[in-house]
Structure 1
Amino acid sequence: MKPLCRSIGIPLLSLMLCLYGGLAQAEEKRTKFSLAWSIYVGFMPWAYMDEAGIMDKWAKKYGIEVDLVQINDYIEAINMYTVGEFDGATMTNMDMLTIPSASGVDTTALITGDFSNGNDAVVLKGRDSIQDIKGMEVYLLELSVSHYALARALEMAGLSERDVTLVNTSDADIATTFKNSDVQAATLWNPQLQMAMQEPDAVKVFDSSQIPGEILDVMGVNSDTLKQYPELGKAVTGAWFETVGIMLGDSPQAVAARTYMGENSGTDLAGYDMQLAATYMFKTPQEKLDYLTTERVRETMDFVTRFTFKHGLLGSGAESPDVIGIELPDGSIWGNKDNVKMRFDHQFVRMAADGTL
């Protein structure tokens, strides 16, 4: 807001006009917002929501416009949100913590649409036990959710990262790399996982169904923006659950929706359904509320914060895993109460569950 006029002796009418102009500018509200999404099975509903006009319908209900923008590079989408080019972006809970929140951008998981229930996996060639991974080179995208999945797999098997050698590989190259006869172990996610499993001797020795609810897929939105413009939270939440209600099931509309999502993510209906089968998608607002309880979120983020702190992902000045405060679904703060930058606020989901959106 421009400063109000403070000239001495200014005529009364001019002073009134100046004051009015300043107040009008102060009261001017935004009506246009933009959210970024990238290709992944749990994020494809955003594509269909946009194509089918569902987002436009809900945005119009609340007198706003919401632009859904596809960004081909997953991390780039999060980075663009973090520097303020978007009001929100699709990301995992771990990446929400380590990129925007660790950078000081207070971010709310407005939509927690699903969790990986087999979409992330450790794959070996010709071996059927995670214990066989000891001493091997493991190809993966370091410091990603694949890295997290591997760390959890090793921990649960009584091993550690010291028992393997990590080979950093981009997500774009890892499925092709796994075809190399010298590569015997990899950790990767769909659709690359689906491609790797086509190798005749590929065996999944661990997948994310063994750590349910730990790898969450969210639409993270700037918390200050949501506080100032709750209509954005209402519109996006309403549009999301309408879309999910359409896509799940066997009706012609559901099949058409998933066919669109599959084709626009580089596969087909069968391929998309295969990925969806390894994704636990919350079908209704109440199902999400029942599953993502305060206790479950606290337990999940305990694993995540310990992993990210160990690998230096919470910033060079981080002295402990709880350097970033996390608001839990019941409003309590876990971690640093003076540095709350990550929130699981279910107020809009509760409205959807109550039918008050």
Structure 2
Amino acid sequence: MESPPDRERQYPSRVDDPEAVPFLPDMCTLQAVFLLVLLGELLALALTLADSGLWRFDWEGLGFRSFLIQWIVLLSAASLCPLRFVLSTLPSWWAGVASYALVLLITLVCSGLGVWLVDGWQSADGWVLGGNLILSAIFSGVVLRYLYVQQQWSNQQKAELRARIQALQSRIQPHFLFNSMNSIASLISVDPDKAELLVEDLSSLFRASLAEPGLVSLADELELCRHYLAIEQIRLGPRLQTKWHVSETIESQLSEYQIPSLLVQPLLENAIVHGIQPRAEGGVIDIHLDGHKQRLNLRIENPVVGATELQASRGNRIALDNIRHRLQAYFGDEARFEAQSLDERFVVELSYPPANAQG
């Protein structure tokens, strides 16, 4: 049996990556600590009011509850801070369970120590610990869920901003712009109709680069890709060949599928820059698109230039890493993204459930 092909990930681990996506926001900043302390104090005040009322307000009880809650809040924040990038390497469900369990464990330890230090251990203190755990489970569950949703929203906004900036920069690159303008100038006297089409293709790319990022129909995204390929076809001529393999199911429902804007075009640009352009004879880019209502599968293949180090360049890694982040921001752990060298071809595969977009 042949050993499986070596797979070259185009991105480092999230812990080492400066652009890694954290699971929770940073709770060790001054503002975050202040808000957590304030929430803890409000909880202590609410519990004391519910227990003793306003007329016979229990100041001693407020002090004990405040002391206990603040220890739980601050220890939980201090524990989750260094773990937020480690948690991001786990599936969201497991990361959430781990965070939740850690807070409950801290609650149990702090409550047990607090009860023992005040009156020693009594037989009825088990009910006290149980009540504290229930309150902590409710309160921490709500807070952790809010922090997670807030961080996912922030991750999505940052990923979209990176995509927009990267797309804009790639379009305004002097080489790309000059090559496009030179192609237009050379066609004006020879084939003005084709020159006009090239101008329209270029304007479509600029329009997409400047548009607000978000979900678009698969039909629009593929149309943008065809505009881009038409521009590069003029420049590279017969060296660039593209083959589309779109299943009948997908082709008949292109407008019904949603995809993050400017997701496929950068993959084609990567294939041309790293797989076609460096080769004197050019090559073929194969684009496979299939799936069903529950899942969409896209695979792009291009030739490998010599060793795979060209394909693993920093610019390529950033582009692929950005696409992975955007897919995760929209579709969570159900999105899959993989890049590998296989049989002298560089293959990028992505898959996601279109109906489960979070954006």
Tell me the TM-score normalized by structure 2. Answer: 0.26
Question: Between Structure 1 and Structure 2, whose CA radius of gyration is higher?
Answer: 2
The answer to which structure has the higher helix fraction is 2
Give the structure with the higher percent strand: 1
